[in-house]
Amino acid sequence: MLNTKTMIAALCAGAVVSCVTLQMTKADPVTDELVIDGKKMITHAKPPEGHPLDVVRSGWLYREPDTRSLEADSFENPGMLFVSKGEQIWNKVEGTAGKSCASCHHDAAKSMKGVGAKYPVWDAKTKRPIDVELQIDKCRVEQMGAPAYKFDDGNQRALTTYIKYQSLGMPVHVDLSKGDMKAWWQKGKDVYYTRFGQLNLSCASCHEENNGKHIRADHLSQGNVNGFPTYRLNTTGMVSVQNRFRGCIRDTRAEIPKAFSDELMALELYVTWRGTGLSVETPAVRQ
Ligand code: HEC
Ligand code: HEC
Q: For residue 3, name the pLDDT band (cuts at 50, 70, 90).
A: very low
Same domain, residue pair 112 and 125? yes
CA 112 to chain centre: 18
Does residue 3 belong to any structural domain of this protein?
Answer: no
Same domain, residue pair 227 and 267? yes
Whether residue 225 contacts residue 272, with contact meaning beta carbons closer than 8 Å, is answered with yes
Does residue 152 belong to any structural domain of this protein?
Answer: yes
Question: In the predicted model, is pLDDT for residue 106 greater than 70?
Answer: yes
* φ and ψ at residue 216, rounded to 5 degrees: 50, -125
Does residue 111 belong to any structural domain of this protein?
Answer: yes
Q: Relative to the CA of 215, which ligand 2 atom is closest?
A: 12
Of 120, 135, 165, which residue constitutes the final position of a domain? 165
Same domain, residue pair 245 and 262? yes
Does residue 25 belong to any structural domain of this protein?
Answer: no
For the residues 87-106, what does the mean pLDDT come to? Answer: 98
Does residue 27 belong to any structural domain of this protein?
Answer: no
Q: Which of 16-25, 138-147, 192-201 is the least confident region?
A: 16-25
Q: Is the CB of 221 under 6 A from ligand 2?
A: yes
Same domain, residue pair 213 and 272? yes
Question: In the predicted model, is pLDDT for residue 205 greater than 90?
Answer: yes
Closest among 274, 211, 244 to 61, alpha carbons compared: 211
Ligand 2 mean position, distance from CA 23 (Å) = 18
- Among protein residues, the one whose CA lies closest to atom 25 of ligand 2: 59
Question: In the predicted model, is pLDDT for residue 108 greater than 70?
Answer: yes
Q: What percent of the chain has pLDDT over 90?
A: 84
Same domain, residue pair 58 and 96? no
Same domain, residue pair 54 and 93? no
Question: In the predicted model, is pLDDT for residue 110 greater than 80?
Answer: yes
Pocket test for ligand 2, best of 192, 248, 271, 281 (most atoms within 8 A of CB): 248
Q: Is the CB of 213 under 6 A from ligand 2?
A: no
Closest among 272, 285, 260 to 115, alpha carbons compared: 272
What domain range is 152 assigned to? 80-165
Report how far apart, in Å, the C-alpha atoms of 219 and of each of 128, 208, 225, 254 are. 34, 13, 16, 22
For the residues 190-207, what does the mean pLDDT come to? Answer: 95
pLDDT at 5: 47
Q: What percent of the chain has pLDDT over 70?
A: 92
Does residue 16 belong to any structural domain of this protein?
Answer: no
Q: Is the CB of 251 under 6 A from ligand 2?
A: yes
Same domain, residue pair 88 and 159? yes
Of 120, 139, 165, which residue constitutes the final position of a domain? 165
Of 165, 194, 214, which residue constitutes the final position of a domain? 165
- Among protein residues, the one whose CA lies closest to atom 5 of ligand 1: 101
Query: Which residues pair with residue 213 across a beta bridge?
Result: 26
Q: For residue 27, name the pLDDT band (cuts at 50, 70, 90).
A: confident
- Among protein residues, the one whose CA lies closest to atom 22 of ligand 1: 135
- Among protein residues, the one whose CA lies closest to atom 29 of ligand 2: 223
pLDDT at 21: 53
pLDDT at 142: 98
At 129-176, the pLDDT tens digits run: 999 999 999 999 999 999 999 999 999 999 999 999 999 999 999 999
Same domain, residue pair 142 and 122? yes
Same domain, residue pair 90 and 131? yes
Q: Residue 105 is part of a domain; what is its CATH number?
A: 1.10.760.10
Question: In the predicted model, is pLDDT for residue 15 greater than 70?
Answer: no
Question: In the predicted model, is pLDDT for residue 24 greater than 80?
Answer: no
Q: Is the CB of 249 under 6 A from ligand 2?
A: yes
Q: For residue 6, name the pLDDT band (cuts at 50, 70, 90).
A: very low
Same domain, residue pair 58 and 122? no
Does residue 54 belong to any structural domain of this protein?
Answer: yes
Does residue 7 belong to any structural domain of this protein?
Answer: no
Same domain, residue pair 86 and 157? yes
Same domain, residue pair 254 and 267? yes
Number of domains in the chain: 2
| Average per-residue pLDDT for the chain | 92
- Which pTM value belongs to this model? 0.94
